[in-house]
Amino acid sequence: MSVAAPAWPAREVALIRYPQGSPRVTDFEMRWCDIPPLPRAGVLIRMQRISLDPAMRTWASESPGRGQPIPLGSVMRAYGVGEVVGSDNADYPVGTRVVGPFGMKTWHASDGSDIRRIVPSDLEPVEASLGVVGHIGLTAHVGLRRIAQAKSGDTVVVTSAAGAVGSVAAQIARNLGCTVIGIASAKKLQWAEATYGIDTMLDRRDPELGARLDEAAPEGVDVFFDNTGGAVHDLVMTRMAPGGRVVICGTIAMDSAHPGTGPRHERLILDRALTVNGFLQSHHDDESERALAELRGWHDAGLVRLHHELIAGLEHAPEGLERLLNGDHQGKVIVTIDPEHDIET
């Protein structure tokens, strides 16, 4: 057993109210707490970065659709990366960086069961373990490589292409030799082109979006990687090529409780022999090792990049989540944890 944990105080963000719609700052509470003790055969982790993700809208819901709701008063679920500073487990010695769904907190005690992976010591920056070489990259990789089986020559449409998963998916498709069409909000089009090298970016609110898609994909869409659902989904579906593959990664443009109605695509799916798959990256863990190796290679070579919008201080996590879900961000939103700052505040 080894312990190297300094006496920094601990803080956590609790869910105190189930959101009505998207989560708001007032649905959460920051509170001081004690540093947890080192578990037997476990580890004590000092958090360094916390990921803010669109999936947190579902996680915070009273009716999440899958799994059990977070009990009110409990720490808000979130993925994060931290350093092991106390260990009673030979698999995770002091100094190891680990990733897992540890929650919105500055310290975490783990029995090892919630540790998803060890972060390579030479992976920099550390936030890449929550981005390209983490659950963001894995989600994009599984959707495109395993489910859609995108290949050179395919025309690929990606919604929310300026967001974290969408931008990585678009770059992976480009690396595979695909023609890539990204759809995003107007204010992010030029930024995504410059930052990620996506040549064709279309405004999701353009009243002529259908015509723009026809121009960009005159032979139809072979792969549709959808992060949003809603009206844009309906437009792209009618432009799928025969044998096209649709992968549904998210529905952020829809109110999950009141999704409304839309066109019926059953006949289109039948006549064009389309495949439509929803997926969760967590159901494809057997793919992770191979996928992470490919993602790491692209990351190191600069072939897949992800802009990190860093928010300093755990107290700003609820505000950052609200901004993320409102689309008021660029790239991957990550909260940085500074123990000395936590002492002062």
103: Cβ contacts below 8 Å, ≥ 6 apart: 12, 75, 76, 77, 78, 80
Q: Can you give the length of the chain in residues?
A: 345
The answer to whether position 43 is within a domain reads: yes
Question: Which of 234, 250, 282 lies at the terminal end of a domain, its last residue?
Answer: 282
| pLDDT of 344 above 70 | no
Tell whether the model's pLDDT for residue 343 goes beyond 50: no
**Are 157 and 262 found together in one domain?**
yes
Tokens of 263: 């066109």
Counted domains in the chain: 2
Does residue 195 form part of some domain? yes
* Vertex 334: Cα angle to 149 and 150 (nearest 5): 5
**Residues 108 and 28 reside in one and the same domain:** yes
Which domain, by its residues, includes 314?
Answer: 2-130+306-344
* Residues 180 and 77 occupy one common structural domain: no
Tell me the mean pLDDT in the region 38-52: 97
Is the predicted pLDDT of residue 5 greater than 50, yes or no?
no
Asked if the structure places residue 300 within a domain, the reply is no
Q: Would you state the pLDDT for residue 257?
A: 66
**Amino acid identity of 246?**
V
The CATH number of the domain holding residue 36 is 3.90.180.10
Q: Which of 250, 245, 269, 295 is nearest to 130 (CA)?
A: 295
At residue 251, the pLDDT reads: 86
Indicate whether 288 belongs to any domain: no
139, 202: one domain:
yes
Same domain, 105 and 207: no
Residues 161 and 242 in one domain: yes
Same-domain check for residues 141 and 249: yes
Alpha helix (H) residue ranges in 197-287: 209-216, 230-237, 266-271
The residue behind tokens 């961000």 is 329
pLDDT at residue 261, rounded to an integer: 80
Asked whether residue 157 falls in the same domain as residue 256, the answer is yes
Average pLDDT over residues 320-327: 92
On the question of pLDDT at 64 being above 90, the answer is: no
Residue 145 has pLDDT above 60, yes or no: yes
Amino acid 125: pLDDT: 95
Q: Is the pLDDT of residue 2 over 80?
A: no
Query: Would you say residue 293 lies in a domain?
Result: no
Tokens of 95: 């100094």
Is 164 contained in some domain?
yes
At residue 32, does pLDDT exceed 60? yes
Q: Are residues 153 and 217 in the same domain?
A: yes
Residues 27, 91, single domain; the answer is yes
Q: Are 48 and 26 in contact (CB under 8 A)?
A: no
Q: Determine the pLDDT at residue 1.
A: 56
Single pTM value for the model: 0.91
Q: What is the pLDDT of residues 255-296, one digit of tens each?
A: 766 777 888 999 999 999 999 999 988 888 888 999 999 999
Q: Percent of the chain beyond pLDDT 90?
A: 83
* Percent of the chain clearing pLDDT 70 (strictly above): 95
Confidence of residue 192 (pLDDT cuts 50, 70, 90): very high
Whether 223 shows a pLDDT value over 70: the answer reads yes
pLDDT at 183 over 90: yes
Does 290 reside within a domain? no
In a domain, 292, yes or no: no
Q: Does 211 share its domain with 111?
A: no
- 166/255 same-domain check: yes
Region 163-175 average pLDDT: 97
Query: Average model confidence (pLDDT) for the chain?
Result: 92
The CA–CA distances, whole Å, from 109 to 5, 35, 52, 89 equal: 12, 9, 21, 12
